[in-house]
Structure 1
Amino acid sequence: MPDEPDTSATPAGDPGYDSAGVPTFESVREKIEARYGTAIGAAELDAESGEGRSVEEQYEERQHAAAERLAQIRESMRSDES
């Protein structure tokens, strides 16, 4: 029967798929949530590692240096206007 969908790849009775072999909304949502949770957990672990902290510290140092430089530039502009 050529018009019927091929469900041989889908395990019989798998609750994550309908009878046509299409994933259900619920199963797709659960997979996305699981991957998101894994990604969040990996990011947290990475941030807690020595290398992750080093990168964060470098970023904060650059931000602080940029803010100081901006303050210097603003101060020099005020001096020029007077």
Structure 2
Amino acid sequence: MPDPAVTPIPVAPEETGYTPGGVPTFDYVREKIETKFGTSIGATELASETPEGRRIEEQYEARQQAAADRLAQIRESMKNEQS
């Protein structure tokens, strides 16, 4: 028999992030999303700090500028054809 002088310590249910029906809780989902977002931001920042990352970023910017220049050329040629 349990000793009546000893008060049992209540034990909180373990937080698993899921309801008893197996559905993830809002807090669990939010935490996972925030963790993944933070990881991706950190990875992007680290990648841009490496020489390879900077070179790739410069190449991307050069391609974007070349595309914008070509689009401007096409628009200008279309204006000249319509005149």
TM-score by length of 1: 0.61
Find the counterpart in structure 2 of residue 78 from structure 1.
Answer: 79
Q: How does 1:3-82 map to 2 (within 5 A)?
A: 14-16=14-16, 24-82=25-83
Q: Please give the root-mean-square deviation of Cα atoms over the aligned residues, in Å.
A: 2.7
Q: Which residue of 2 aligns with 1:3?
A: none
Whose relative contact order is higher, 1 or 2, with alpha carbons under 8 Å and at least 6 apart? 1
> Can you give the 5+ residue segments of structure 2 that lack an aligned partner in the other structure?
1-12
Local SS of the residue matching 1:16: coil
Q: Deviations over 1:9-67 (max 9, x none)?
A: xxxx53335795x5654344333322321221111111221111111111111111111
Bigger Rg over Cα: 2
Q: How many residues align?
A: 71
- Sequence identity percentage: 58
Contact 1:46 1:52 in 2 (8 A): yes
The gaps in structure 1 that reach 5 residues or longer are 1-12
TM-score by length of 2: 0.60
